[in-house]
Structure 1
Amino acid sequence: MAGPSRRTLARRLESIVDFSDPAADLEQYLTPAELAAHICHLAGLHDDLDRRVVDLGTGTGMLAIAASLAGARRVAGIDVDAGALDLARRNERTVLNGHGAGSDRTLEWLRGDVTRHPFSTSDATVVSNPPFGAQRGNRHADRDFLETAGEIAAVSYTIHNEGSQSFVESYAADAGGEVTHAFRATFPIAKRFAFHTESEETLEAEVFRIEWE
């Protein structure tokens, strides 16, 4: 059965609530609803939602909830921050009430570090908006997420900072994977921290679909 349209997905995801007190060191930003809808709609077109879906660093739960709305039957979101998981659960209740599937679908929220994950699968579909590495001490944070994706996934969809394509393609190739799709996306960020100088900043991002061996 075909899932909802990309436009319908985006509209439903717009009610997801952002962090009220985001942590700068964890780079807690709301993944745009339109981008989450695009990723999960694309995953549905490739039958990637037929597998278990894992959202690494789930934050507000945006990508995990989007995957569930798009038709994934088994979804897990993992995050190191207990407060983020509480927010994700509240967003699940708000967004999936009346729209989530019934008892045949599950959405789990797990507290843990993605580098020391509890998953024993190698055939998942990973969706993730990892830290871009913009904050001190977070450099190459997205590499850790790619490493975990390579361990547990048959395919992954990850969002990275502009200019990451050569790095992502090289990393995937070294790990036995292949970038099959790459596209640009805008990533609007509202002023949330003292170091932000504009009321809203738009970052240029890149999204990659990787098939892993």
Structure 2
Amino acid sequence: MAGLSRRALARQLEAIEDFSEPAVELEQYLTPPELAAHLCHLAGLQGDLEGQVLDLGTGTGMLAIAASLAGADRVAGIDVDSGALELARRNERTVLMDVDGSSDGETPAIEWLRGDVTRHPFSITEATVVSNPPFGAQRGNRHADKEFLETASAIASVSYTIHNEGSQEFVESFAADAGGEVTHAFRAAFPIAKRFEFHTAAQETLEAEVFRIEWARG
């Protein structure tokens, strides 16, 4: 299936269902459809969707589904939360049926795996990773995004990850230490609806930063 345009991709992703009871300790937030479309459209333009694509900490399945719609050959999403995977499967059925008119249309099925990203089951080294890792805002989650980058550096030839504002120096330093290089970086709005008791506004918009990293191999 040919990849959708960025605008068409974002429209399709708007049908993705959010968490009904998000887990605060897992920092479960819906990746904005426009941001997911931007990230995966860029990955398609860079030729990064031709092999195995892995969505680490897939949550609602937003990035995995976006990658599939953008033209990825093979997509898998992994998450530690079984409830999130049930939601991701439901979102896959909803969105792909909207595109193809049936649940077994031209878009390849996504493989959903339960597992801990930091102790992943993958034995590959040439995947494309897409991920919206926890920003590390909650107690006990500090440096959570670093753990996701460590996994990406081990299994990917290229990765696209979303981070909190002010992460560029950290991400560039981590990539360099691991033999990688940040090739693209851009800022993006990350709206978050009021979901938890500690949220004081109906909606807050964070400034996120997205990085494409090429990881050295061989």
Residue 71 (structure 1) aligned with residue 71 (structure 2): yes
Aligned to 2:110, the other structure's residue is in SS state strand
Give the Cα–Cα distance (whole angstroms) in 2 for the partners of residues 131 and 12 of structure 1. Answer: 24
- Count of residue correspondences: 213
Match of 1:6 in 2: 6
Gaps of 5+ in 1: none
Residue 152 (structure 1) aligned with residue 155 (structure 2): yes
Aligned to 2:140, the other structure's residue is in SS state coil
1:4, CA displacement in angstroms? 1.1
Match of 1:52 in 2: 52
Match of 1:208 in 2: 211
Q: Could you tell me whether the CA contact under 8 Å between 2:96 and 2:107 is conserved in 1?
A: no
Match of 2:25 in 1: 25
Instruction: Give the alignment partner of residue 184 of structure 1, picking from 164, 182, 187.
Output: 187
- AA paired with 2:184? H
- AA paired with 1:19? F
Residue 115 (structure 1) aligned with residue 118 (structure 2): yes
Instruction: Give the alignment partner of residue 133 of structure 2, picking from 130, 133, 139.
Output: 130
- AA paired with 1:13? L
Distance 1:107 1:2, change over 3 A: closer
Q: Deviations over 1:67-112 (max 9, x none)?
A: 0000012000000000000000000000011526746723100000
Q: Could you tell me whether the CA contact under 8 Å between 1:177 and 1:210 is conserved in 2?
A: yes
- AA paired with 1:88? A
- AA paired with 1:48? D
RMSD across aligned positions (CA)? 1.3
Q: Deviations over 1:24-69 (max 9, x none)?
A: 0000000000000000000000010001000000000000000000
TM-score under structure 2 length normalisation:
0.95
TM-score under structure 1 length normalisation:
0.97
Identity over aligned residues, as a percent? 79
- AA paired with 1:145? F
Give the Cα–Cα distance (whole angstroms) in 2 for the partners of residues 110 and 4 of structure 1. Answer: 25
- AA paired with 1:22? P
Residue 86 (structure 1) aligned with residue 58 (structure 2): no
